[in-house]
Amino acid sequence: MSSTKNHVIRLKPGADLRASIQQYVNDHHIKAGWMVTCSGSLTDYNIRMANQPGGTTGSGHFEIVALSGTLSVNGSHLHISISDSTGATIGGHLLEGCKVYTTAEIVMQSDGDLLFKREKDGSTPWEELQIENLKP
């Protein structure tokens, strides 16, 4: 029997995309999950680009063209790509401050047999994903 569970939510205008996803993860005690898909739009973004210390922000109207990553009560790691009205696309680490414009339709999955943690393991200076199988 599979221990994979589907989670489907819709965020309404004004919701903070990252904070809302993490709140759902925390409320549902998701210990090992991943983003399947997200369709929607933003009015404001806050994205940390590769190898940068802080986020880049902007306001306007943007389509969410991709959202991916791992989810856990022990720390989530999400990347987003958004495009503007000309199709110009940017992406990076999803930070709090991304405000939903019309909707964010989100599908996630989780596996109760796994545990995701974020810990320094010496391979990089950052806390990286550590995976524990809870079922022998």
Strand, coil or helix: what is 24?
helix
CB–CB of 118/32 below 8 Å?
A: no
- Residue 96 structural domain: 4-133
Number of domains in the chain: 1
Mean pLDDT (the chain) is 96
Query: Average pLDDT of 25-43?
Result: 98
Diameter of the chain measured on Cα atoms = 51
Phi/psi of residue 20, nearest 5 degrees: -70, -40
Query: Average pLDDT of 15-41?
Result: 98
Question: At residue 18, does pLDDT exceed 70?
Answer: yes
pLDDT at 1: 62
Q: Kindly report, residue by residue over 47-81, the tens digit of the pLDDT.
A: 999 999 999 999 999 999 999 999 999 999 999 99
CATH number of the domain that 74 lies in? 3.30.1330.80
- Token pair listed for 31: 């210990």
Phi/psi of residue 29, nearest 5 degrees: 55, 45
Q: Kindly report, residue by residue over 87-123, the tens digit of the pLDDT.
A: 999 999 999 999 999 999 999 999 999 999 999 999 9
- Token pair listed for 97: 């401050």
Question: At residue 2, does pLDDT exceed 90?
Answer: no
Q: What is the pTM of this model?
A: 0.95
